[in-house]
Amino acid sequence: MVNVAIMGHGVVGSGVAEILINHRDRMSKAVKTEVNVKYILDLRDFDGLSYSDKFIKDFEIILNDNDVKVVAEVMGGVNPAYEFVKQCLENGKSVVTSNKELVAAKGAELIKIANENNVNFLFEASVGGGIPVLRPMVQCLCANEITEVAGILNGTTNFILNKMIVDNMDFNDALKLAQEKGYAEKDPTADIEGHDACRKICILAALAFGKHVYPEQVKTEGITNITLKDVESADTFGYVIKLIARTKKLQNGKIIASVRPTLVSRDCILSNVNGVFNAVMVNGDMTGEVVFYGKGAGKEATASAVVADILDCVKHLEARKYLDWCEGENDYVDQGFDEKQKLYVSVKSDDYNDIEKQIQNLFPQNENSFIKNQYGGEIVFITEPDFEKNTTAKLKQLKNCSYKTLQVIGG
Amino acid sequence: MVNVAIMGHGVVGSGVAEILINHRDRMSKAVKTEVNVKYILDLRDFDGLSYSDKFIKDFEIILNDNDVKVVAEVMGGVNPAYEFVKQCLENGKSVVTSNKELVAAKGAELIKIANENNVNFLFEASVGGGIPVLRPMVQCLCANEITEVAGILNGTTNFILNKMIVDNMDFNDALKLAQEKGYAEKDPTADIEGHDACRKICILAALAFGKHVYPEQVKTEGITNITLKDVESADTFGYVIKLIARTKKLQNGKIIASVRPTLVSRDCILSNVNGVFNAVMVNGDMTGEVVFYGKGAGKEATASAVVADILDCVKHLEARKYLDWCEGENDYVDQGFDEKQKLYVSVKSDDYNDIEKQIQNLFPQNENSFIKNQYGGEIVFITEPDFEKNTTAKLKQLKNCSYKTLQVIGG
């Protein structure tokens, strides 16, 4: 029998407890030993559950119980999760977590501590919820050099954009609906501003390329500026707008990493990821593009990924899983985005005729693809592939107007 | 250092040798020990390679060399692969294979022998080529009870159907093109008659549900009867035709397992899997639908999956991977297909007016969805969901006509 402790009894934590306790036989069969939930740490009271006797309020009980070999951290947030996880690892306990904020902030350090103490630190549920991504990337693609990872990593924003695309709903209405359905928090900032996706791409980049990427190094842009007009224009060009998190290895050893609303060509499989679903595309030099798709959130899906990690720790009490990266560096993430790409440009002005002339002069080759909305004083187009800094420099020459740009993939 | 042997130097085998030898440092880094290719078994001569000195023609050399801990079987076919693999396992060597025919025929037996000898028998490359499927299904979804697996498991037939759908090419022309491009063999029977997909769904069913499924238990139908007219009609109904391999657990403990040309609703992510790509959908009671997508064949992709298995064996020389199923049973696969489903029906007759009346009488509720082709003497429609035996019984009442049916998913 192996004893485990669960820290946190929120949405995911209660899911983990329920799976381990209600499906005890299934779990035991999977690892050929009994898996016993010994403690559940939560400051709140949970009376009337079949397992109410397992609740404790003092972390030290878990820390000092040598019978507890595996701890699941499902509290969320960096503090006190970081201190708790660190101490558990130092005390020879394997830890699994669904906490993307923690892993994105402290992953390299916690992996190092796990290594030093010959225990495991696993976090499959931190990216893609119930979708297997991290383990297959590390294990099944280990003969590959991974060159790029890109995906739809946030279900809330994908739901909102999907409603705008399919039902012509504007951003605020779609957000409200997402909140009503429980897909978006009351304070939706972390989702709609891209922070959640940013943490996940940090973890994917670290695993893919072996070096920690900190959230503040990632160019992160949310979806709050996307209008129905953008959605319609994208459709006319053969694209859909998705919030794409992406990281790519550059030839100079640096990487790029970004979270940006992006026009995705309808040919690309990511354009067909709808509703709250997530998908992660991994490009390896041997396998080419591989995509993992499924529910990126939700109590049961996320909890089942945490449980899979717990079971993996139970099977590997004496062995180390090879899941590794080192600390990051200041200039590791290239802020210049030096790869040629198309950009979607939307320019608005009070003087339509003037702005049309200005754009024609700067981007003569694009004229055939202009979408003109004379009455709105707006011109929308997709540029030829160029370095983003070049396109941006041209746009800065425009006078008496406002503009925005979006990344373009495929097509 | 760990010594490995490769049996077979065909497309996949040469890929495995090249990865292990040319990317030796990458492999060593992944498993923290050197991986050395000691022998390559092939009856043919391969002069002029950088590793020509490794070739041998006598299997006994591998079998009796106690320094060889891991053997890759990439010869294909059941014999002599079966005898070679069995003897290696019995001699305490872990074996990895890409050979779906072998695993579908002898998987349960070889797993048992591996268990008894405390070695590993891995076969990730046997399903989905370079796409990680088996390992994520067993490891990452281990907290789930898997209820259904369905997928596009054969790239050749998907390429042909895709050409019919997108380019209006007829079956024979599309097959010829596939052969020219190297996607189809000179004798394409195994692909176009569904045998290749059948072997793969046997392996997936065995892993998902724990009991061996033999190819002859799977209702297998190829794509040779699919016409351009079917493709067009499907499109009118909002579907695309795909060769779907599928297995599902029934409440009575039995399973269904089939390979059938299928109308897949455009809403379903599998409908967007184009060209030679493969995708496997796994439905778990916790995670819901998860899809794995990528290149299902090709030298480098398949070889990289074999190499990942080799590296996994190297890491687990002293430990058993939990990958397990038991021998099958005669009546385990339900041949009745007792689940209600829609069917696509195409009926042809010389007397159009007569056949229209007959169909109206038998399927009155479907009349609005009839696609009538009076000059071709043909009526096409999709039935209401019903047990297939009921629909088939009705169709048998039709006189003076010929008909065919296809399975329908989604929509």
Round to whole Å and give the CA distance between A26 and B141. Answer: 12
Which one of A136, A286, A312 has the shortest CB-CB distance to B304? A286
Element (H, E) at B2: strand B2-7
Residues of B in contact with A139 (CB under 8 A): 132, 135, 308, 312
Share of chain A above pLDDT 70, in %: 98
Torsions phi, psi for B326 (to 5 deg): -105, 175
Residue type present at position A196: D
Domain ranges of chain A: 2-130+300-315, 134-295, 340-409
Q: State which H helix or E strand residue A150 sits in.
A: strand A146-152
Tell me what ipTM this predicted complex has.
Answer: 0.93
Strand partners, B276: none
Residue from the list B290, B301, B311 with its beta carbon closest to the beta carbon of A287: B301
Cβ(A407)–Cβ(A263) below 8 Å: yes
User: By three-state DSSP, how is residue B306 classified?
Assistant: helix
pLDDT confidence of residue A208: 96
Is residue A80 reached through a cis peptide bond, with omega within 30 degrees of 0 on the bond before it? yes
Q: Does A305 touch chain B (CB under 8 A)?
A: yes
Question: Which fold, B135-293?
Answer: Dihydrodipicolinate Reductase; domain 2 (3.30.360)
DSSP states of A269-300 as a string? GGGG--TTEEEEEEEETTTEEEEEEEE---HH
> Per residue in A57-95, pLDDT tens?
999 999 999 999 999 999 999 999 999 999 999 999 999
Residue B31 and residue B11: Cα distance in Å, rounded?
25
Q: Which of A38, A200, A242, A254 is catalytic?
A: A200
Q: Which of B131, B142, B307 sits opposite A308 (nearest CB)?
A: B142
Our CA dihedral for B357, B361, B365, B367, rounded to 10 degrees, sits at 0
Largest CA distance in chain B: 77
Q: Is A136 within 8 Å of B135 when comparing Cβ atoms? A: yes
Give the residue from B37, B142, B295, B320 with the most A CB atoms within 10 Å of its CB, the best one to mutate.
B142
Region A1-21: mean pLDDT is 97
CATH number of B340-409: 3.30.70.1150
Please answer yes or no on whether B322 and A32 come within 8 Å at the CB atom. Answer: yes
A249 to A52, A146, A206: CA distances (angstroms): 49, 8, 11
Residue of B nearest to A305 (CA): B140
Q: Is B103 on the interface with A (CB under 8 A)?
A: no
pLDDT tens digits, residue range A89-117?
999 999 999 999 999 999 999 999 999 99
User: Under CATH, which architecture does the A134-295 domain have?
Assistant: 2-Layer Sandwich (3.30)
Which one of A257-271, B83-97, B366-380 scores highest in mean pLDDT?
B83-97
Q: Give the per-residue pLDDT at A267.
A: 81
Most confident of the following: B64-68, B126-130, B314-318: B64-68
Q: Which residue has the tokens 């947030």?
A: A77
Asked whether residue A220 carries a pLDDT value surpassing 90, the answer given is yes
Question: Residue B309: what pLDDT?
Answer: 96
DSSP three-state, residue A131: coil
Residue A344 is encoded by which pair of tokens?
């979607």
Answer whether residue B337 shows pLDDT above 70: no
What's the average model confidence in pLDDT over A377-384?
Answer: 90
**Is B48 part of the contact surface with chain A (CB cutoff 8 Å)?**
no
Q: Which of residues 267-296 of B touch A (CB under 8 A)?
A: 269, 272-273, 284, 286-295
Please say if the pLDDT value at position B365 is more than 90: no
B233 burial class (0-12, 13-18, 19+ CB within 10 angstroms)?
buried
Q: Report the DSSP beta bridge partners of residue A291.
A: A281, B293
What's the confidence (pLDDT) of residue B244? Answer: 98
Q: Residue A337 — pLDDT band, cuts 50, 70, 90?
A: low
- C-beta neighbour count of A33 within 10 angstroms: 15
User: B154-203: per-residue pLDDT in tens?
Assistant: 999 999 999 999 999 999 999 999 999 989 999 999 999 999 999 999 99
Instruction: With cut-offs at 50, 70 and 90, classify the pLDDT of residue B9.
Output: very high
Alpha-carbon span A65 to A52, nearest angstrom: 19
- Averaged confidence pLDDT in chain B: 93
A200 carries an active-site annotation: yes
Give the residue carrying structure tokens 């070739």: B55
CB contact under 8 A, B135 and A135: yes
What CATH number does domain A2-130+300-315 carry, 3.40.50.150, 2.40.50.660, 3.40.50.11860, 3.40.50.720? 3.40.50.720
Cβ pair A294:B305 closer than 8 A: no
DSSP A404: E
- Size of chain A, expressed as the number of residues it contains: 411
- Token digits of residue B290: 């998860």
At A28-43, the pLDDT tens digits run 988 889 999 999 999 9
Q: From CA B286, how far away is CA B264, in angstroms rounded?
A: 24
* Whole-angstrom Cα Rg for chain B: 23
